[in-house]
Amino acid sequence: MDTMRWNGESLELIDQTKLPVEVKFEQCKNYIQVAEAIKGMVVRGAPAIGITAAYGIVLAAKEAIQMDSRSFYAHMEKAIQELGSTRPTAVNLFWAIKKMQAKLDQCKGQANSEIVKELEREAQAIHKDDLRMNENIGSYGNELVPHQARILTHCNAGGLATAGYGTALGVIRAAHEASKEIKVWVDETRPLLQGSRLTAFELHQDKIDATLIADNMAGYIMQQGLVDLIVVGADRIAANGDVANKIGTYSLAVLAKEHDIPFYVAAPTSTIDMELESGKYIPIEERDKDEVRFVYEQQIAPKEIKVYNPAFDVTPNNLITAIITEKGVCRAPYTDTLGKLFEE
């Protein structure tokens, strides 16, 4: 199932807030609608957010195609700032915007219509490259998955979080396609239930053997010897290998260490932020408190109760067995191995 569809005039996004009850696409005809879709979690997952923002910049350029050059660039600057302010943690957003900005700068002096064409080609290349990277991540990750492995995953790092195939779920899909007879434990992932709503949905669609558990059951199934490895995605990876991912990931890594279970992170190099020395510098988004007080518009807590709702946590590098990228598998010391990924 496509996470997004570009038809040349608008961007269609599968509304992930409606899944798994309803499969519905939301049409974005301008960059404001794209920004709202990112902020409202219609689209989520670091790679998918980046691709979506790239297309948002194309839509901004299309809106301004009839403007004079000065007005065109002022409009583009405003659009880029708006899209860049949507989600603070996922570095792929800023990576994609940076690539689009570079293309825009490169086209300076050309007719607006030519700039639009160049930006569209760049966004489509980002889209296509993400799918290729995911498939490579799956191939490298598959080498780490034993036959009949029981795999635990958290949140959604599948096709819905990327251009398709997925990062953590790309590893799982590759192992399934290799006929390894895997079984998958799916954390529900409170408070927005991306595991139960999205990952369970994807695995069921692919006929991969999956079992849903509440988040607080993960330690018990590890204690019972029912987990052979854990694989998760990432929203930002610092230069030293510290990883920001959906809230609850750090807890799983601590439990994995206690039970001597390999803990893998699967992410493209676009998720690695070599400008950040460590995870303590990663900005952590705090979301609306009603995401915790309500589930599907059903109130489950006193309306006046105080709530703390960080969307992500940071897992220190010493808890991570390996980071799986489209260029290969990196192990500690991550400052060295991650850095080598960017050497040309």
Peptide bond preceding 191 in cis form (omega within 30 of 0): yes
Phi and psi torsions of 246, nearest 5°: -50, 140
Tokens found for residue 107: 């086209």
Known catalytic membership, residue 235 = yes
Which residue in this structure is represented by tokens 């139960």? 196
CB atoms near residue 228 (< 10 Å) = 16
d(CA 83, CA 34): 8
Peptide bond preceding 47 in cis form (omega within 30 of 0): no
Asked if residue 118 lies in contact with residue 103, where contact means CB atoms within 8 angstroms, the answer is: yes
Nearest to 94 by CA among 311, 323, 270, 325: 270
Q: How far is CA 165 from CA 3, 203, 286, 326, 339, in A?
A: 10, 11, 28, 13, 26
d(CA 193, CA 254): 21
The one catalytic residue in 187, 215, 235, 242 is: 235
Catalytic residues: 235
